[in-house]
Structure 1
Amino acid sequence: MPLRREPTLRQRRLGTEMRKMRELAGLGGSQLARALGLAPTQVTQMETGKIGVSAERLRTVAAACSCSNTPLIDALAEMAVERRKGWWEEYRGTVSSDLLDLAELEETATRLIAYTITFVPGLLQTDAYAASVFARAIPPLPQHEVDVRMEFRMKRQQIIRPNGVPYRAFIHEAALRMQFSGPKVLAEQLEALIRHSETPEASIRAVPFDIESLPGPSENFIYAEGAAPELDSVQIDTTHNSLILDSPAPLASYREILDRMASVALSEEESRDFIRQIKKEIESKHG
């Protein structure tokens, strides 16, 4: 079987979870290989997503590692038999692997929770707002790259639809007031947020400046829930790239952050009124 040149995010995650099983069982790669009747290199290739794993092999690995977490094993078995290519694969070689991984993470999540402090979440951005965000990149992006990123983002936004991935967003007041291309673009973006908030597909809650303390980090992030809690992920925006975390400790930390965020953010109805007020202020000041 030829090795995969570029394993997808899910293929790599399946391998990572198999490695976690092995390590929790206190087994080395060579020990697991002997138990399975494989060469040690095959175990390494499975754990890096370089070769495929059948559902039967996955369950054999789980048994060899004495893993009794049935929901996790079942979810991993489903991942093992996935064969369809996502729409984002059409962009491989055109956009960065970080963006491909983000699109795959969003499409395969059971629920998405976003928190932003510098700009409106990408899945809720209008065309004009997104274009203005891309235009602020340093160094400047070539126009053809802006165009493909715009197209890619608009396709990502299609997950917010009836029967799509449930979406929840906490948006800090700083992001609601940040202007990337003037008051008109921002006012239109705020109006779009209000419309989104009135649909059952999206829950939008504002985090105002005057809360007692900010219960979260200073970076934007997306918490993607998986088919089992162990398969959750956190995607974090950084200055130069995107990080995806899946270790238990950071997942637990971000779950706590979101629980605290939910306790201090405005309600959905209060958030709509809050966004309307900011929009009114901007239009009054710059009208």
Structure 2
Amino acid sequence: MHFLEVAEVEGHAQGLSAYTMAFIHGLLQTDAYASAIFARSYPRLPAHEVDLRVGFRLRRWHIIRSEPTPFAAYIHEAALRMRFSGTKVQAEQLGALLEASEQPNISIRVVTFDVDTIPLPSENFTYVEGPIQELDTVQADSGLGSLLFDAPAHTARFRSLLAQIGSAALSEEESREFIRSIKKDMESQNA
């Protein structure tokens, strides 16, 4: 899926919910973290493509912070610990997550390693709420790229999955404390 389609879907959202296992969601990524993610893509992207995608991602980052659209991010512990570009970049990314979690429209909740396995159709997905439920859309990431789903049967499955993830995730405050502890550990390793 072309990244402009992502912006179009997000731009009309009444609410966003996302679950990520492998990396921090694009709407919450710092410049350095996004650069590290895109630089590791396979096949390798040319430097100008990495810069273009990082710039686009950062514009989306600013939009979610300036708009009142509710955004619920469920982040697996693995994504918090994965160091795409070393401990310094990851610690800065965790700090940015903590800052974002203070925004009134952003909820960040962690799913820890000790939670029973949640059945997932993909590693990462974003559920976009439309003005009416029939316009809801899911963007799912897989090893083959991103796919959009908007059939009622698909969106109903993802809504059910979000409910399961929400019941398994730490509360917002517990999640902030959990992220702070991981950040502190990384910073002590970097000292």
* Interval containing the TM-score (normalised by the shorter chain): over 0.9
Are residue 249 (structure 1) and residue 131 (structure 2) matched?
no
Write out aligned runs for 1:87-236 (5 A).
Answer: 98-236=2-140
How many residues align? The count is 191
The amino acid that maps onto 1:117 is: M
Q: What is the RMSD computed on CA atoms of the aligned residues?
A: 1.3
Sort the Cα spacing of 1:282 and 1:254 in 2 relative to 1 into closer, same or farther, 3 A. Answer: same
- The answer on whether the counterparts of 1:117 and 1:218 sit within 8 Å (CA) in structure 2 is no
Q: What percent of counterpart residues are identical? A: 55
Structure ranking higher in strand proportion: 2
More contact order relative to length (CA 8 Å, sep ≥ 6)? 2
The superposition leaves residues 214-270 of structure 1 with CA deviations (integer Å, 9 ceiling, x where unpaired) of 253441000000011011000011223210001111111100000111111000000
Gaps of 5+ in 2: none
State the shift of 1:150 in Å: 1.2
The amino acid that maps onto 2:75 is: I
Question: What is the TM-score of this pair, normalised by structure 2?
Answer: 0.95
* Distance in 2 of aligned mates of 1:285 and 1:142: 32
The amino acid that maps onto 1:140 is: R
- The answer on whether the counterparts of 1:107 and 1:165 sit within 8 Å (CA) in structure 2 is no
The correspondence for 1:270, drawn from 174, 181, 187, is: 174
Larger radius of gyration: 1
**Secondary structure of 1:210's aligned partner:** coil
Deviates more, 1:142-151 or 1:221-230: 142-151
State the shift of 1:280 in Å: 1.4
